[in-house]
Structure 1
Amino acid sequence: MKATGALGRRLVQRLSATRAFARVAPHVIPALDRAVHRLTRGRLLPSARMLPGVVLTARGARSGLPRTTPLACMPEETSGTWVLIGSNFGRPGHPAWTANLLQHPEAEVNWKGRDIAVRARLLEGEERARAWADALRFWPPYATYQARIDREIRLFRLERR
């Protein structure tokens, strides 16, 4: 990464750890991602310029209807899996998509313009601890999000079906 890229990444990390970002971002970033992703037929996801991202489609926990959510992800290149971090930008409640995956783990992601069938698994114990450590190295603001809230941030591993 070029020096300006590293500097920009650190600046975005600092900004994303603020409470103001946590209030505004959940309303702006997903809407922008959804619109651009749809308009470009899956070729572009604006938030993926700073963090890798997928567009998750899972059935709603209560409705059973498809719910589409753009999310940052942590790709695990060696295994071809992804880890999703349910940080909800450090806000108190779990994000709705985590309840959807708990109820209906069979889902689909759009990754770099390709639709891929996946099965989600909630990470627990040592496996969660290892993934959490990796997530903190990957995007340090997750530590700030966790420090702000009483709940444990849910981590899911998505495996190809």
Structure 2
Amino acid sequence: MTADEKILNSPTGWVAEHIRRYVDTDGRQGHHRWGVTTLLLTTRGRRSGKLRRTALIYGLDDNRYIVVGSNGGSSHHPSWYLNLLANPEARVQVAAEHVIATARTATGDERERLWRMMTDLWPDYGRYLSKTSRQIPVVILQPNTDTGQPPRR
């Protein structure tokens, strides 16, 4: 990911507007929304190779960002998650902070713990789960940094 590559924002109107405001204000508008915190996730399209950006609710676990691939309870995974499976390197913006992170899907007991944490933050995840037969992925975004400092909230 290079700074001069064009980034395509989510094609969903309200998400694209959220992203625009977030980017234009360095997260002063959009980082806190709906009573939770949100981040911007940029992935590389698994088929197109283009950079794609979306906004997601996130939680913190130590120095890692946690996001959920709920897709509103759809029967299929969100594109951003499929992109991360193909290429786990992502760009993450939290407020004005930008980091490169490596993504992995949580499994086992770790997944269960993080799922509970995220449903405590956003109870609708439980409702989304009841709408689908797929396991909704919980994704860990580990910043590629040696500072050891936790991310900002």
- TM-score for both structures, normalised by structure 2: 0.79
| Per-residue CA distance 1:27-66 (angstroms, 9 max, x = gap) | 3431221221233244421663522111011111112211
Deviation at 1:140, TM superposition (A): 1.4
Structure 1 residues 66, 146: CA separation in 2 closer, same or farther (over 3 Å shift)?
same
The match for 2:87 is 104
Pick from 70, 88, 91 the counterpart of residue 87 of structure 1.
70
* 1:134 and 2:120 correspond: no
CA distance in 2, matches of 1:125, 1:45: 32
Which residues in structure 2 correspond to 1:1-161 (within 5 Å)? 27-45=12-30, 48-76=33-61, 79-161=62-144
AA matched with 2:21: V
Unaligned segments of structure 1, at least 5 residues:
1-25
The match for 1:14 is none
CA distance in 2, matches of 1:47, 1:145: 22
**Cα RMSD (Å):** 1.8
SS in 1 for 2:36: coil
CA distance in 2, matches of 1:88, 1:113: 26
In the alignment of these two chains, the number of paired residues is 134
| Per-residue CA distance 1:110-151 (angstroms, 9 max, x = gap) | 011111111101111111111112112222111110001111
Percent of matched pairs sharing the same residue:
32
More strand by share: 2
AA matched with 2:100: A
Question: Is the contact between residue 29 and residue 47 of structure 1 (CA under 8 Å) also seen in structure 2?
Answer: no
More helix by share: 1
SS in 1 for 2:12: helix
The match for 1:4 is none
Question: Is the contact between residue 33 and residue 46 of structure 1 (CA under 8 Å) also seen in structure 2?
Answer: no
The match for 1:17 is none
Question: Is the contact between residue 52 and residue 75 of structure 1 (CA under 8 Å) also seen in structure 2?
Answer: no
